[in-house]
């Protein structure tokens, strides 16, 4: 193998890996639970979409997909994304947290913004949510999954933000 062969080989190996289609990463660090264990029936029964929930260990929510912010709720408790591969992803922090009217939530992006996996979307104060009598359980849903295939959960238990949660296909 010549000098140029080594350089060319290294360049080939450093190529960016293609992003897998219809994969949703965890937007928060915490403990993943099946959606049916969520205390709110609208989420538990899959009325708002398929997915999983994470009981967060900290108050940062990161983009689970590359895409565009389709909906940034002014209360900061939820955000909707349209992924580059066609998924409508909803991240909803807490149960009944809309009643907090934004107290303890801070959006870091706005509607129409382009986001990449791992980008900070919003922060929240778990202590304020709990003090208001609400759960911090964070739902990570795909609302148009019927068009994308069957949900396959890719992890269980403790998860890190950015870890693969599930895929559709």
Catalytic residues: 92
CB 109 within 8 A of CB 71: no
CB 161 within 8 A of CB 120: no
- Rounded Cα gap, residues 46 and 41, in angstroms: 8
Helix (H, G, I), strand (E, B) or coil at 140: strand
């Amino acid at each position: 193998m010549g000098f140029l062969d080594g350089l060319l080989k290294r360049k080939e190996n450093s190529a960016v890996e293609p992003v897998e289609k219809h994969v949703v990463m965890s937007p928060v660090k915490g403990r993943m639970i099946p959606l049916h264990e969520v205390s709110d029936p609208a989420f538990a029964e899959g009325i708002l979409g398929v997915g999983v929930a994470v009981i967060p260990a900290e108050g940062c929510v990161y983009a689970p997909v590359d895409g565009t912010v389709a909906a940034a709720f002014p209360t900061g408790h939820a955000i909707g994304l349209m992924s580059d591969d066609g998924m409508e992803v909803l991240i909803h922090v807490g149960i009944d947290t809309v009643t907090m009217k934004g107290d303890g939530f801070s959006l870091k992006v706005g509607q129409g913004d382009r986001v990449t996996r791992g980008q900070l979307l919003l922060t929240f104060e778990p202590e304020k949510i709990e003090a208001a009598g609400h759960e911090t359980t964070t739902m990570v849903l795909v609302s148009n999954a019927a068009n994308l295939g069957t949900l396959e959960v890719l992890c269980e238990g403790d998860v890190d933000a950015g870890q693969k949660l599930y895929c559709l296909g």
